[in-house]
Amino acid sequence: MALPNTVRLVDVGPRDGLQNEATHISTAVKIELVERLAAAGIRHIEAASFVSPKWVPQMGDAREVMAGIERRKGVTYAALTPNLKGFEAALASRVDEVAVFTAASEAFTQKNINCTIAESLTRFAPVIEAAGANGIRVRGYVSTVLGCPYAGDIAPAQVAAVCRELLDMGCYEISLGDTIGTGTPLKAKHMLEAVARDVPIHQLAAHFHDTYGQALANLYAVLEEGLAVVDASVAGLGGCPYAKGASGNVASEDVIYMLQGMGINTGVNLQQLVLTGNWISAQLGRVNGSKVGQAMACND
Ligand code: HMG
Ligand code: MG
């Protein structure tokens, strides 16, 4: 057992959490969400997405969101960029980091970004090159690592192969997406073991959606392997518009509570994070998807 001493939590709520919301969310609320997360001690925030507004209308105000955020020293403000057009807009918006995204499943890649896996990698090459020239780090996402809504089971070797390609192209970190949350702990562990043969574990992150309520258990399984970067979404917001039925990411509050309970350092103020989760849930008119958020609100 080799649990890490410190875990970096990447809050993807402002992007993954909000991208799937059907009703319009104001730019001001998006900005305030990012600022509240930073105030709660989150040091890595996925704040926006420079994708086609025809594909994901909710992210159409990415420029305005990035322009409105009062930046804090020491916080990385990141954004999704599927292609060079997205990267150029992100660069003009002074992002600290960008993320390219593909999948281990051909069918999902086609639905999500309208191309094959190989074509997606070809599109990323100029993004990674331009990012390097501008001193911007690139993260790579691989979706459907524990199952695909269209193709079913995905072989760990296929996940490992795509991760390795992204690493070789220059991504500094690869985030492993259980997009539809169907994974279970041993499956997660075996997938990670396969990927870690090709990619050093300190360059891997877990991005687990909680559709089937397995995300915390799956996270524990990969933390035991030494993985130390976790993507999560405040109040458990979110879902992918191209993965029908997929619910939000594991809630950041639940992850922080679990990590703190195991003596793992995160630098996050849980109480403040819970307040942020309750605030954004109220803004969206929905029940807080974090169990810890609900429990701590009851104790107020
Ligand atoms: P396409 O239609 O094949 O692109 O879409 P195209 O190059 O043919 O361009 C079509 C139009 O889109 C053109 O405009 C372009 O200018 C415009 P038109 O001439 O028709 O007026 N366009 C853009 N506009 C703004 N920003 C851009 C951009 N690129 C082209 N960057 C494309 C291909 C990749 C653009 C599209 O499929 C897309 O935007 N997909 C994004 C889907 C998405 O955001 N999905 C959710 C995020 S991924 C996710 O949630 C999973 C993750 O969380 C991990 C996990 O959970 O597994 C990361
Ligand atoms: Mg996701």
Question: In sequence order, what are the residues at sequence separation of 6 or more whose Cβ sits closer than 8 angstroms to the Cβ of residue 291?
Answer: 251, 254
DSSP H helices, 156-214, are: 156-169, 185-196
pLDDT value at position 242?
Answer: 77
Rounded distance, CA 239 to CA 23, Å?
Answer: 14
- Domain for residue 206, yes or no? yes
Query: Residue 241 belongs to what domain range?
Result: 11-299
Show the ligand 1 pocket: residues with CB < 6 angstroms. Answer: 16, 19, 49-52, 55-56, 80, 82-83, 85-86, 101, 112-114, 141, 143, 177, 179, 207, 209, 240-242
Q: Express each pLDDT in 124-141 by its tens digit.
A: 999 999 999 999 999 999
pLDDT at residue 300, as a whole number: 61
pLDDT at position 22 is 87
Q: Report if residue 238 sits inside a domain.
A: yes
87 CA closest ligand 1 atom index: 31
Non-local CB neighbours of 174 within 8 Å, separated by 6+ positions: 139, 140, 141, 142, 163, 166, 167, 195, 199, 203, 204, 205
Nearest by Cα to 4 from 292, 194, 262, 253: 262
Inside any domain, residue 116: yes
Asked, for residue 282, whether it belongs to a domain, the answer is yes
Q: What CATH number is associated with residue 144? A: 3.20.20.70
The domain tally of the chain equals 1
Output the pTM of the full model: 0.97
Ligand 1 nearest-atom number relative to CA 101 = 58
Identify whether 2 is part of a domain. no
Ranges of the chain whose pLDDT falls below 50: none
Q: Does a structural domain hold residue 28?
A: yes
24 inside domain = yes
CA pair distance 110, 129, nearest whole angstrom: 24
In a domain, 152, yes or no: yes
Q: Is 240 a catalytic residue?
A: yes
pLDDT (0 to 100) of residue 244: 75
